C-alpha cells in the first residue's frame, strides 16, 4: 500500500519593511562614519605603521569593544601590515564574569591575553570609602599594562578614549587644575618604551553607544569607578551631554578647536615670546585686530550708525566697517558718523 507524503514548499522570506530599510541605512551610515573617523585619526597622527604590534586594552566596556571591533575591520583592508593583541586586566572585582571576554575574543579569532592582578583589593584597602578611586586604580593599571605590552612584544598601546573624553579632560583641567590641558591622541608612555594611541579621538560617544548596541557587545560594567556617580568627570560628562542637546554643533566646534590653537592669543609665555615681540612695520594678514567686535556679538551690533540709517543689511554693514578699517590705519578710532 502506497502512502502519499505531503511536501511543504518553503516560502520566501518577507521583504523588509520601510522601517527596517531605514534602520539598515542608518547603521550603514554609522559604520562608514566610524571607520572613516578612526582611519582619519590613525592617518593624521601616524598612529599605526608597518609591522606594528598593537595591544588593544579591552576593559569590557562599550568604548574598548568598539575600538577593537573597528581596528579588526580596518586591519583587513589597511595598506600596511600590523598585528593586534587584545589584553584584559582582570582586577578581581567581586562578581566579575571572567568567562565573558575570553569567549568573545575566541569568537572573533583575535590573539588575546588575560592578565590577572588583584588591584581591586589594593584600591579598596588604600582609598577610604566614598573617596575617588580613579587615580590610584589608573596608576596601578597603567604600570601593569606597560609591563604586559613589553612581555607581548607590543610597541603600540591602543586605548578607547573618544572625542567626549578629550573634551571632558579639558574641562576637568580647566575647572579643577587651573591649566589648559587635554588628552593627546598619541604620546610616549611613562616608561619611555611604548607609544600610546587613541584611535577613537574623532568619534562621538553617542555613535559608540549606537554601535555597541548594534553589535551587541557583551558589556561588563565596572564596579569601581563606574559606580561612583559623584565623580567630577561624571558631572562634566552630564554638562557636555546637555550642551549637545541644547546647542547642536557646539561639541564639534570645541573639539575642532583642539587642532586650531593660536599660542599668540593665549597667555602662556612658554609658548609665545610676548616679552620680545616688537612692531615690524610690515602688515600681517594673520595679525590681531584688537579693536574689532567679538565674533559672538550680534551682527546688527557691528553695523555703523550710518550704515544702519542707510538701511543696509547686517552683512553689508559688516563689509562697510571692514572696508573703512582697511582704507584708514586709524579706523578703530574714527568718530561715530552723524
Task: Return binding residues.
Answer: 134, 137, 225
Q: Which grid cell is 58?
A: 579591552
Q: Which grid cell is 323?
A: 572696508
Q: Which grid cell is 303?
A: 553695523
Of 13, 157, 30, nearest to 86 by C-alpha is 157
Extract the annotated binding site for [4Fe-4S] cluster: 134, 137, 225
Contact by Cβ (8 Å): 320, 304 = yes
Please name the residues in contact with 149: beta carbons below 8 A apart, sequence gap of 6 or more: 55, 87, 155, 157, 193, 194
CA 170 to chain CA centroid, nearest Å: 12
C-alpha–C-alpha distance, residues 90 and 64, integer Å? 15
- Collapsing DSSP to helix, strand or coil, 74 comes out as helix
Cα→Cα distances 137→126, 168, 188, Å: 10, 19, 20
Element (H, E) at 129: none
Could you write out the DSSP letters of every residue in 78-116?
-SS--EEEEEEEE---TT--TTHHHHHHHHHT-EEEEEE
3 state SS for 195-247: EEECCCCCCCHHHHHHHHHHHCCCCCCCCCHHHCCCCHHHHHHHHHHHHHHHC
Amino acid at each position: 500500500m502506497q502512502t502519499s507524503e505531503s511536501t511543504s514548499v518553503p516560502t520566501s522570506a518577507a521583504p523588509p519593511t520601510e522601517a527596517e530599510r531605514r534602520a539598515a541605512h542608518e547603521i550603514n551610515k554609522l559604520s562608514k562614519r566610524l571607520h572613516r573617523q578612526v582611519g582619519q585619526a590613525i592617518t593624521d597622527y601616524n598612529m599605526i605603521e608597518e609591522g606594528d604590534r598593537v595591544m588593544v586594552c579591552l576593559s569590557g566596556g562599550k568604548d574598548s569593544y568598539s575600538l577593537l571591533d573597528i581596528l579588526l575591520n580596518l586591519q583587513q583592508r589597511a595598506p600596511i601590515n600590523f598585528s593586534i593583541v587584545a589584553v584584559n586586566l582582570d582586577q578581581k572585582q567581586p562578581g566579575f564574569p571572567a568567562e565573558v571576554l575570553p569567549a568573545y575574543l575566541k569568537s572573533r579569532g583575535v590573539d588575546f591575553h588575560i592578565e590577572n592582578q588583584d588591584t581591586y583589593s589594593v584600591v579598596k584597602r588604600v582609598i577610604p570609602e566614598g573617596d575617588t578611586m580613579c587615580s590610584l586604580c589608573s596608576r596601578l593599571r597603567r604600570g601593569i599594562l606597560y609591563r604586559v605590552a613589553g612581555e607581548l612584544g607590543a610597541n603600540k598601546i591602543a586605548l578607547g578614549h573618544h572625542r567626549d573624553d578629550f573634551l571632558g579632560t579639558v574641562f576637568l583641567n580647566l575647572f579643577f587644575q587651573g591649566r589648559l590641558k587635554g588628552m593627546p591622541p598619541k604620546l610616549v608612555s611613562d616608561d619611555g618604551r611604548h607609544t600610546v594611541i587613541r584611535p577613537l579621538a574623532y568619534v562621538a560617544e553617542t555613535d559608540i553607544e549606537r554601535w555597541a548596541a548594534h553589535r551587541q557587545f557583551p558589556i561588563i560594567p565596572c564596579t569601581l569607578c563606574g559606580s561612583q556617580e559623584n565623580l567630577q568627570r561624571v558631572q562634566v560628562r552630564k554638562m557636555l551631554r546637555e550642551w549637545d542637546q541644547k546647542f547642536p554643533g557646539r561639541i564639534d566646534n570645541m573639539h575642532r578647536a583642539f587642532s586650531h590653537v593660536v599660542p599668540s592669543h593665549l597667555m602662556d609665555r612658554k609658548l609665545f615670546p610676548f616679552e620680545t615681540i616688537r612692531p615690524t612695520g610690515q602688515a600681517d594678514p594673520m595679525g590681531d585686530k584688537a579693536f574689532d567686535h567679538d565674533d559672538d556679538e550680534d551682527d546688527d551690533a557691528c553695523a555703523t550708525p550710518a550704515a544702519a540709517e542707510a538701511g543696509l543689511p547686517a552683512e553689508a554693514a559688516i563689509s562697510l566697517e571692514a572696508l573703512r578699517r582697511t582704507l584708514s590705519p586709524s579706523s578703530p578710532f574714527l568718530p561715530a558718523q552723524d
